[in-house]
Structure 1
Amino acid sequence: MFSKACEYGIRATIYIALHSLEGNRVSLKEIAEEIDSPSAFTAKILYQLAKNNIVDSVKGAYGGFQIEKNQIHSIKLSQLVFALDGDRIYTGCGLGLSRCNAEKPCPVHHKFIQIRNDLKQMLDETTLYEMTTGLDVGLTFLKR
């Protein structure tokens, strides 16, 4: 459903948010290890997230990645997905056809529209804070 970069980006952002709530920054190496992602790939993803003002990158000996505490409550999952994957999740074909629309629908087009609308609603309503809160008490996990 999401690209691999988007999956890693969501997990990285949740991890950064968890530490930012405690007032801490996290290093690229620590993030990559925690989300089971190659460091170079994680760096590219974090660059994209920083470019879209979702995470802050601080250089230097005490640098790392962080998110402003007040922002954690307002960032929506849809913002993360858009920053990394664009809007293709809302416009793409359920079967992956390059051109699928109501005039020339694929076999699942009409059923997939409702799934896509439900997904958009969930992404728009889910906050970063909501995704972060289960981690610190062991209810949710970023890797297995």
Structure 2
Amino acid sequence: MLSRASKYAILSTLFLAEHSSKDKKISVKVIAESIDVPSPFLAKLFQQLVRGKIISSTKGPNGGFFLTEKNSKKNVLDIIENIDGLNKFNDCFLGLNECDSKNPCPVHFIVEPFKNSLLGKFRDKTIQEFSQEISEMGRVLTLKGLDLS
């Protein structure tokens, strides 16, 4: 349901939520290596995320990417909307051109509650809350052995 670009954007933003701050910025290269994404591809995603005010950046020798408190209050749906738009959530699960409550496909009423639940979770939790939930579950977004301290 989510494009690879959206998945990478979400993962890298959650990574920033866990590992960055205004005083601790992280380069695209380090993040790309840690989540195994081509650096140029992630750099383009980050340009979109910065323009959409989802993440922040500074240039220069101590530059890099980070999340401000305001960025952290955005939700995951903001990331998806910024990268792909929300049309994928309206598309038919089977790929039919016309599929809605009036013209449902065979799985429409099975998939619709799942889509709505997923949209609600992405909309109702902030980036910070998602990051915190991941940490509490013991799933740390690590840097493949790289030390950021």
Smaller-chain TM-score bracket: 0.7 to 0.9
Distance 1:82 1:27 in 2: 24
Shift of 1:77: 1.2
Shift in CA distance, 89/119, structure 1 to aligned 2, threshold 3 Å = farther
**Percent pairwise identity:** 33
RMSD: 2.2
Secondary structure, aligned partner of 1:96: coil
How many residues in Structure 1 have an aligned counterpart in Structure 2? 143
- Structure 1, unaligned stretches of length 5 or more? none
Shift of 1:132: 2.0
TM-score (norm 2): 0.84
Shift of 1:98: 3.0
Q: Residue deviations 1:15-48, cap 9 Å, x none?
A: 1122334731100101101111010110111111
Distance 1:134 1:121 in 2: 16
Shift of 1:133: 2.5
Shift in CA distance, 46/131, structure 1 to aligned 2, threshold 3 Å = same
- Structure 2, unaligned stretches of length 5 or more? 145-149
Give yes or no for contact 2:22–2:66 (8 Å, CA) kept in 1.
no
Off by >4 Å, runs of 4+ in structure 1: 134-138
| Residue in structure 2 matched with residue 111 of structure 1 by the alignment | 110
Shift of 1:101: 2.0
Amino acid across the alignment from 1:139 = G
